[in-house]
A and B are shown apart, each in its own frame.
Chain A
Amino acid sequence: EAQVTQNPRYLITVTGKKLTVTCSQNMNHEYMSWYRQDPGLGLRQIYYSMNVEVTDKGDVPEGYKVSRKEKRNFPLILESPSPNQTSLYFCASTRFGTSTGELFFGEGSRLTVL
């Protein structure tokens, strides 16, 4: 089954404790992206990657890091989480090369930073 898998689905942590949210896709997609979703603000892009070793900032990259060492994986790293990073996070992927391609989303990771 084609899917995007995120882990963990739920996480409560404390300010300053480094954490990683993993994302893996099994569709051989070149393009992967991370979004955060907050009430009234829709989905805002954090970082994206057009292929292995190619990453770029989205609209709200501050406080986040990513890496793309393998095509299927795109982890999101919070080096020193703060309460304003409490949010619902989504990873998504699509085939690169088309401007109208469907974004496939994971089920989301709800993060709470105390």
Chain B
Amino acid sequence: TQLLEQSPQFLSIQEGENLTVYCNSSSVFSSLQWYRQEPGEGPVLLVTVVTGGEVKKLKRLTFQFGDARKDSSLHITAAQPGDTGLYLCAGAWRGSARQLTFGSGTQLTVLP
């Protein structure tokens, strides 16, 4: 099983602050996804990155895929209480037959 480290595990910030969540592996990903999960619900896909160095933006969220495709980051600008939730990265490796390995998640709380 490939290991995927996600940090930080918990993050509590004030509304309006910026934050970054990291996802790292010692292996090269074929693709990486970011999901967000709210209480009482299943995870929902935010973005998929495939190409090394790729940057994708989703409103105030910026997703970056490392050049070597071993790491990724999620940056939120001017966080809002509605951003509160569990953020999960999930990586797929070549030959993994569509298996995704999930990170342990980052629980983000944005205080008003």
Contact = CB atoms under 8 A, between A and B. Distances in A.
Interface in B54-112: 88, 90, 92, 97-105
Interface string B21-54: 0000000001101010000111111001010000
Contacts of A102: 33, 45, 48
A90 B102 CA distance: 13
A99 B31 contact: yes
B48 A107 contact: no
Nearest to B50: A100
A43 B87 CA distance: 12
Interface string A58-100: 1100000000000000000000000000000010101010011
Best-surrounded residue of B44, B88, B99 (most CB of chain A within 10 A): B99
A102 to B, nearest CB: 4
A101 B99 CA distance: 11
A90 B1 contact: no
A50 B98 contact: yes
Contact of B105 (A42, A94, A99, A103): A42
Given A43-B90, A45-B101, 6 more contacts: A42-B88, A43-B102, A59-B1, A102-B33, A103-B90, A105-B42
28 contacts: A4-B42, A31-B98, A35-B102, A40-B9, A41-B104, A42-B88, A42-B102, A42-B103, A42-B105, A43-B43, A43-B90, A45-B99, A45-B100, A90-B42, A92-B42, A94-B98, A99-B31, A99-B92, A99-B98, A102-B33, A102-B45, A102-B48, A103-B33, A103-B100, A105-B43, A106-B42, A108-B40, A108-B41
